[in-house]
Structure 1
Amino acid sequence: MQTDGGGWMLLYAYKHRKGTKYDLVTALPTSPDGYSHQLLNNLGISAGWAQELRFYCTTSHHNRVVHFKTNNRNIIQTAYDGNKHFSVLDWRTKTEKLNGHTAYLPDAADGVNGSGQQKAFTYFPFYTNGHYHWAISALSRFECDDFPNNYNYDTIHRIFVRD
């Protein structure tokens, strides 16, 4: 709650332990070490209320850290309804790096996915093809600015919102 002036609410919290496979859970995260996510509309919060989203991830695969925020309305709309509204340009040009950010993403993004409700921020919302991915993909891949193509590393993925 102290980062970048505070006031952040946790929407996505996935602390993945290497070699484990869990289904993604739709519920309000109760801790940063949780294993669940929630959309703004399910919480009764309007898309217009949200002013910024903050993305954070780390992995045991390397030392880079993804830590940035955005006030891009397309990305915020995705946090509201779970459908993909963003483009590569939204990730590459409409973000601000925060303290500790050392990753290639989102600046190096050359692709987006995230089709299908509830998958927008879990299923490769931004990536560099064959090199750097953001993935919270149950039963297969957990990636943070890398591309091991497996679930064999510890990862932490968190997404926060504030007004």
Structure 2
Amino acid sequence: MSETIDYGKLMHRAMRGLIQEVLEDVAENGLPGDHHFFVTFDTRHPDVEIAQWLADRYPSEMTVVMQHWYEDLEVRNSGFGITLNFGDAPERLFVPYDAIRTFVDPSVEFGLRFESQDQEDDDEDDDEPTPPGGGPKGPSPKSDKPDGQEHHDAEVVRLDRFRK
């Protein structure tokens, strides 16, 4: 038994469960009303499945939009698979929940942001929010935790990052 309760890890797991529940509903019933999602994920995550040309173009992170055109949304306990259109070229993706960095539904001003503790420390020095997709970032620093474990927290995203 551990000496402390890891609330950050528990929140992280709960918010990923929320994303899974939302996607399960969308897979069954479609996107209601004006709802749509911006999902930014780590393309370097070992369980991400994307075409090689997308991995080459987005070597660290990628933002996808689920709105007008998507097919075959398959929701699993570990992540979701979806076919999206990239310039008239349909591509199948699989995104594990653990690879998600942000999940935003701008139609209702809802957003979640997931980062490791090391990334949060680095981001505190930045005054400007990162634009959607965030641009290329280098690999995150190695964790000081034993066995390479990183501490993950979650926070709400500022939605003005996604406004035009």
The two structures share one fold, judged by TM-score above 0.5: no
CA radius of gyration, larger in:
2
Q: Return the structure number with greater helix share.
A: 2
Length-normalised TM-score, structure 2:
0.28
